[in-house]
Chain A
């Protein structure tokens, strides 16, 4: 395990407030942070100084997240940079196809907006093999389980969905 102070995260999002929020959380956690407002700007930053991890939105002007990711994949060195997706379109009709494309061929973690800072930092630390606090560890595990459950639920048949529903109801009653 290493300390985060040596790690740089590139935050890519067209919303100023989202970038400010994520950047503040990362700096507070001890990371170095670079920012980009769109895919094009992000690509320029990666060319100059490849970051250790990229936090990526999907829908942006001047190169969408998907387009940016494809450019990244063409370069052997850049293709290995871990990516965490932070998007508002994860499971709706507009973003599902893009998200499926990325998660099948690339980064394995995504967070759906709105994102809680503890969950966000925990997920990033996991990806970078950085030491996490007990609180963050629990949060990261929760995020991982939630992601896995979402994938399983997406692919479940009606009968299985009913069982899952009964199980969750039973738990909530306890």
Chain B
């Protein structure tokens, strides 16, 4: 028995039901732009349509749209997809994408109706607008770079600063180079798919040096290969200039303090010379040989002090640039412990080390840091000897703390008076009576500052002292890089 022919009413019902269930808006428009049919989604979105023109329903307007897409399709018979903005039945602005398709009874016949299928993209459109605003309006420079290091997109700040650079190589725009930059963070991001950052020095159109802080991040879908990188740069040239000015101001302040400290030392020596002269004269007048000898010895001591002061000051003052090489902090400390072991033993002081075994090498000037630790250990041993404590000790420590390499020299010696502590790094200060010029701590501070670090002291009278050198590793790395840059130049 042949299959029963489908009932015509069944087919019509089926067509209607399919139309109603579609999740997007469907409308049928005739040549007069009347809406002749529409599905449920359309009605829910745009409201009642029977007996109305399409522009009345879509746009709540009383006249046809300029450059009406439906009329174009009636004319040329071509399908088209367009972005539109209209009002929904509640009067809210709505964004939708419309696909307009011609309907013909015969393949070559005239277009009798237009089928319009639209999807609401209001939310998507909003996010896209906000994204565009974010991209364009962020105050730093944002670019998207392809694997050939060509710029494919650039934000407003970048365009204002560098002009229309789309299609250009990023290294050419930033640095006027003809190849990729050394230590390029974008290159690293393409390689490992991770975010990277670096400080870069560029060249402006006027040929001036510019400083950038650059961050790069991968643009990829899922775990695929990195096809594009987004690069965000901040111009920190002014900040760098301020930092340089601050360093110079600190240097000048140190010069002033050094001169004052020097004057103090000279005055003490002059006092000794004046005293020696006086005592010799007195001895001669009274024919007191012992007094003459005493005065003469005083003169000799202060002549010697003058010589030592001049030598130490020249050592302090010379403008030697630190020469940074990878240095093992623990090895450095062990060398110094070895150097002072016998001296400490003779004084009855327990000289020991407390070293972090996991500490990593860092770019340091080994001679400079050796001088620093030598000065601190020597002072600590003197402090212990002066205190005459029975269980005196000096401990040298290495630590990693908060991104900084830390050296500490601690002792349980005499400690430091508060009034003296205020001046300890700003004067030719010595607690060794007639011994030493007091330049050791000034030299130590100078070397530490040249490494981009700082030295602080904690102490109470009678309770020992703790000198702490903090060297941020970031600055040490900068020291090494600056050195390599200087080498190139």
Contact = CB atoms under 8 A, between A and B. Distances in A.
Interface of A: 14-18, 20-22, 24-25, 28, 37, 39-40, 59-64, 66-67, 88-89, 92-95, 98, 112-117
Contacts of A59: 264, 419-420, 423, 427, 429
Interface residues of B, number: 38
Nearest to B416: A61
Contacts of B99: none
23 contacts: A16-B433, A18-B268, A21-B275, A21-B279, A24-B275, A37-B433, A39-B417, A61-B416, A61-B417, A62-B461, A66-B419, A67-B418, A67-B419, A88-B267, A88-B271, A92-B260, A94-B264, A94-B426, A94-B427, A95-B264, A113-B271, A115-B274, A117-B278
A100 B273 CA distance: 28
A66 B248 CA distance: 33
A114 B267 contact: yes
Contacts of A113: 267-268, 270-271
Contact of A61 (B260, B427, B431): B431
Contact of B414 (A60, A62, A116): A62
Contacts of A25: 278
B202 interface: no
A21 B271 contact: yes
Which of A21, A40, A112 has the most chain B CB within a 10 Å cutoff? A21
Interface string B302-314: 1000000000000
A92 B265 CA distance: 12
A93 B260 contact: yes
A66 B419 CA distance: 8
Chain A contact residues: over half helix, strand or loop, or mixed?
Answer: loop
B329 interface: no
Contacts of B270: 113-114
Contacts of B302: 17
A95 B420 CA distance: 11
Interface of B: 256-257, 260-261, 263-265, 267-268, 270-276, 278-279, 282, 291, 294, 298, 301-302, 414, 416-420, 423, 426-427, 429, 431, 433-434, 461
B326 to A, nearest CB: 39
Contact of A64 (B268, B301, B419): B419
Nearest to A92: B260
A112 B274 CA distance: 13
B420 A15 contact: no
A26 B371 CA distance: 43
A120 to B, nearest CB: 10
B261 to A, nearest CB: 7
B334 to A, nearest CB: 30
Given A59-B423, A59-B427, A62-B417, A20 B298 contact: yes
A61 B261 CA distance: 16
B275 A64 contact: no
A21 B417 contact: no
Contact of B268 (A39, A66, A67, A88): A88
Contacts of B272: 15, 17-18, 21
Given A61-B431, A63-B417, A93-B256, A24 B268 contact: no
B38 to A, nearest CB: 89
Given A18-B268, A114-B267, A24 B417 contact: no
B114 to A, nearest CB: 89
B282 A88 contact: no
Given A93-B257, A93-B260, A114-B271, A17 B298 contact: yes
Given A17-B301, A59-B423, 17 more contacts: A14-B433, A17-B271, A17-B298, A18-B271, A20-B275, A21-B272, A21-B278, A24-B275, A24-B279, A24-B282, A61-B420, A64-B420, A88-B264, A88-B265, A88-B271, A94-B260, A98-B419
Contacts of B419: 59, 63-64, 66-67, 98
Contact of B264 (A18, A64, A92, A98): A92
Contacts of A17: 271-272, 275-276, 298, 301-302, 434
Given A21-B271, A88-B267, A94-B426, A61 B414 contact: yes
Contacts of B423: 59, 94
Contacts of A40: 461
Contacts of B260: 89, 92-94
Nearest to A60: B420
Contacts of A92: 260, 263-264
A112 B264 CA distance: 10
Of the listed residues A18, A114, A116, the one surrounded by the most CB atoms of chain B closer than 10 A to its CB is A114
B433 A114 contact: no
A115 B417 CA distance: 26
Most B CB contacts (10 A, CB to CB) among A22, A40, A62, A98 go to A62
A116 B301 CA distance: 19
A64 B417 contact: yes
A94 B261 contact: yes
B268 A15 contact: yes
